[in-house]
Every structure is written in C-alpha cells, then in structure tokens.
Structure 1
Amino acid sequence: MTPLKILTIVGARPQFIKAAAISRAIREIDGLSEVMIHTGQHFDSNMSDIFFEELDIRQPQHHLAINGGGHGDMTGRMLIAIEPILVAERPDWVVVYGDTNSTLAGSLAASKLHIPVAHVEAGLRSYNRRMPEEINRVVTDHLSTLHFCPTATAVANLAVEGVTQGVHHVGDVMYDATLFAIDKAEKASTALSDLKLRPKEYAVATVHRAENTDDPRQLRAVVQFLQERAESHPVVLPLHPRTRQAASRMGVSLDRLRVIEPVGYLDMVKLLHHAVGVYTDSGGVQKEAYFHRVPCITLRDETEWTETVTHGWNRLWKGPERGTPREIEEYGKGRAAFDIVHLLASNRAST
C-alpha cells in the first residue's frame, strides 16, 4: 500500500506550534508521509523561522511568501498559489489549523479539487461575525470532512449547525505542544535573565487582533488597561508588527509597558511559565496561560475558549472576576496529536 500523504497548510505562529506536534506524530507512525505548505502569512523571522528551528519541524517543501494586503486580497493570492500545489502533490488529506486566512484559502482550494479537508480546532465559535477569524472557522468547518474538536463545547457548536459526521473530540493539540516545550524552554531559554525579570513578579501581554488594532479608541483603551496593570507589576509586551504599525499610525503611546520584539516559542513558553498573569486577545495564549496554570484576562468582549472562563482561569477584561480555579479535563492528557493522526490513517477509505 502506498504511504498516506498528508498535506499540511500553515501560515501563522499558533499553527506552527500545533503542526509541530502533529508532524512529530506522523513521523512516528509507519505508512504516513507529510508535505507542508507555508503561506508566509507570518513572515518575520521572529514569528516564523525560529519556530521551525525550535520545534523540530522540517522546513516546508512549499513557501508561498504571501502576506500583507486586505483579507480578500491575501486569501485570493493564497488560493491561487495553493491550487497548483495540490494538483501536483495529490494528497490524501489536507490538514488546516485554526482560523486564519491561510486556513480558509487551504480549505477552499482543497474542497474545490475534491480533496478531503481535516480541520484541527474545529467547532470553536465566538459568535461575533465582525471577527474575520469567525468567518474563516465557520466556512472551514462546513467544507471539512474530519473535524478535530478540542472541547465538548466545540462538538456541540457543530451539531447546532448540522455538522455531526466526522466529528471527534480529541483534546487540545496546544497542550501536547506545551508539555513538549516546557522542559526544553527551562533549559534553553534565557528570556528572564535577558530581560532582568524575576519569576512571578511580571505579567505577559499580547495584542494583535484586528478588533483591537484597527480602531483608535479600542487600541487606546486596551493600552490604557495594560498601563494601569503595569502600576502593580511590569507588563512585558512582545509587540506584533500589526500592533506596532497601528500604535505608530494612531499616535498611541506604549510608555510604561516593557515593549520587546516578538520572541521565539521557547522564550514565550519561559515567559508564560513564570508570569504572575497574562493579558491577551489571542485565543492560543489564553489556553497556554491555563496550561502553565497562570491566571489570564482576555482583552476582548467574548472568547471561543469558554472553558477557561467557567473553570476560573480566565475572565473577559470587562467581565466579572474569575471564579475558583479547577482543572479543565476535556483539553485531554497531551495525546491529541496522536489521536488525530490515527484518525487520519484510519479514514483512508473515505479519501
């Protein structure tokens, strides 16, 4: 029997982390091969190249170098570039991750060529259609053949939309990645000493969502919130290029925050692991905060990771205080990647 060919499409930092866990699982199971497309959505070396080096990911066979422009422009260019690669590679499965433009372009290209799509992090919903990420994830779910859900809530969300076939609650791949990285980061990262930080005496913040960076009033409100928090402890802000450009364009001062360049994955793991708190608009970082058992405040009016709120580890920045923390069992035990790969292999017949 010929090897099962899995074509992975990534483009942004969280996807590199998830793909690393699944790529390791693919390499450990006989009869599987993987081809990777990197769209280039995150192109800065601190947000792309370093992740491949640190997470033991083989360099992508196809690098599209597509970034910048509006959502339609970027997605369209990706769609045009991905299609001929799929025709040439003829994979058995196309695997996409999360909710980016790369995810949408990959799922559209594959479905039009009748190549089955497997969506990692399927079923997440914020129920805010103003978020481009929400549109991306909804469309991708309705184009996918296999839906790998991190939570029971995600499974229920799909059922409400009539998606019940090929749905699997596998747990969270990001938890797999975190368990793999913690010991490695403790040994390899010098982030705390480089920044002269003491454990549990600082917080980490990330801001990059369009809803926070495209509106001057919203960006000022978020920055003011972080600056108020900085009165109690230093707030370290690895500054996303989009946020840097927006703050400069809108004249929003980042004074009183410890602004640093984007950091590699291991440095971020080290910073999160020893932080006293996390402030973020990133879905991935909300979960990572929980994996490190660090309290989080989400800089949005809703979250797709409702379990982090109901279980007392997270709260919305304008919402009530956190409850008593308790474990989130449904994120799994760090074996989600292996479960996903076994399901891909066992569903060969459906391709």
Structure 2
Amino acid sequence: MDAPVVKLRKLIEKVELVNLTPEIDISQIKICYPDINRPALQLAGFFDHFSHERVQIIGNVEYAYTNSMCQEAKRNMYEEIFRRKIPCLVYARNLKPDEEIKELAIQYGIPLLSTGKTTSDLMAETIRWLKVQLAPTISIHGVLVDVFGEGVLIMGESGIGKSEAALELIKRGHRLVTDDVVEIRKVSDDTLVGSAPNITKHMIELRGIGILDVKALFGAESVKDTQTINLVINLEDWDKDKEYDRLGMDEQYTEFLGNKVVCHNIPIRPGRNLAVIVESAAVNYRQKQMGYNAAKELYNRVQRNLMRGRTDEDDD
C-alpha cells in the first residue's frame, strides 16, 4: 500500500494560510510527514539532522533572530534552507519576509505562506490535521454507525444483515458513518477513526431494494462523516454446536493496524432484533468505561450469596 500524502493546497485551505508567493505552482507539492519543524538551529547554520521534508514554521523567535543578521548572512541562511527543497515555509503571527527573501523563494520554487495564528496554535492545528490525513489507513468490509456516541463497527459475511441492522438503528435515531466499505485510520496508538469513501458517502445498500441515500431520506442528523471506532460487533450464523459467551466476564478483542478494539461475536437466527442488541452492546460498553461491569456485579452477588449460605450453615 502506497504511503499516504497530502497536497499542500489542501493544507492551505484547511489552516487558512495566505500564499505570499502565488507565482509558484503548488499543485504538485505534497506533504508526506505529519510533524513540523521550526528551523531555529538551521538559521544558526547547523544543518545536521535537518528534517527538510517537514512543513517549516517561522515564529517570533526565528523572525527576530534573522532580523538581527546582516542582509547578506540572512540571504545565505535562507538560501541554504531553500536548497534542501522544503515543502513550504509558513510565517506565524502575520509576519512577512522581506522582498529579497521572497525573490529567493520564488527562484527555488519554495512557497512562502502566512497566517495570523500564534505559533503554538498553528503548530497544534497543523500537526493534528496532518496526523489524521497521513495516518496509516486500511479499508475493510463492514458498516460503521454512531450509537449513543459510541462508534460501533458491524462486521460479518456478505448478506448476513449488517445494512438492515444499520437502517433500523438510523430509524431509531442513530447515525450512519459508512456502509459496505469502512476506511480506518490509525490517528494514535489508542484511536482508530472510520470514514466512508467519497463515492459511497451517506449511501446504504439493501438487497432487493437497491441504493438508498440516507441523508436525503432521513435528514442531515442521520449521518456523520467520521467516527472513532470503540466497539466491533461481528455477526455470524447461529451454530447450535458452538459455545457462545453468556456472561461476558472476559473481553474479546480484534485488531486493526496494531490497535485492539473490544469485539462481540453475535450469533444470528430468525427473530433476533439486531438493532436492540447493538444498542445494548453500546450502552454496556459505555457502562464498563464508566467503571460498572454487569457480569462482575453478578459474580459478586453470587459470591455474597454463597458466603451468606455458609454463614447460615455454621449458625445451625
């Protein structure tokens, strides 16, 4: 799978940057790394371990330092940076380069950008957005629904009833993120975010009926663009010879991109209301996150009753 990239134009639009060098064609400039760099040491002449492939940001400190240099030294230092083919140079706090530096950037084809944001805010927003856009990504077969604020990924063989369950959940007030294909991004070691491919966004397929536009049928409140994946419901055909978990004392997990997600294997047979089961699983998951585990509570009750029974026998 090819490493994800982001076009510089998208970053400019998202962070609302001003292009100070419109003469430069930025259509083919791509960003491959989510981190940024403030070239403080580079402006002082130290280029070992220079992360030239990252977005470069100039804040008050770097700007004040370069202004303390003579014009020739400043030009030489910027030229050394531009020669290393950085993707762009962003000035925070509405700072602007002088005309000579601007001409030098145009010569080397390095876009100069500006924003009124503080350096810290600019860094945080840029890194946060790039981490999502450049996160490792996989596509899987399934349905992702927001149920009571929890991202529930419904999986199972084709035709088992995933889309039907999602449609019933939508009618009960929950929100569809994606049907059939789920794009999963690993935005951190703890967080997986799911979304729909652009071509199937807000669409759902029902066998025998065809394609439905959920947003058009049920309104904008019935869909969502992205959702953190908190829980996996794996639907499977009922097997009378298989032992299914009836207590839920031990959590089962499935793994995506190295991240583990709680997983429930739900056997399907006629008459089972999948929407209610998914809702109950989502609420039960939330209860566990808040410190209450129904299975452990039942176990504690049984233990207390056993202890009480032994005490009554001793009294006799």
Instruction: Please give the TM-score of this superposition, normalised by the length of structure 1.
Output: 0.20
The alignment's TM-score, normalised by the length of structure 2, stands at: 0.21
- Select the structure that is richer in strand: 2
* Larger relative contact order, structure 1 or 2 (CA cutoff 8 Å, min sep 6): 1
Q: Relative to total residues, which structure has the larger helix share, 1 or 2?
A: 1
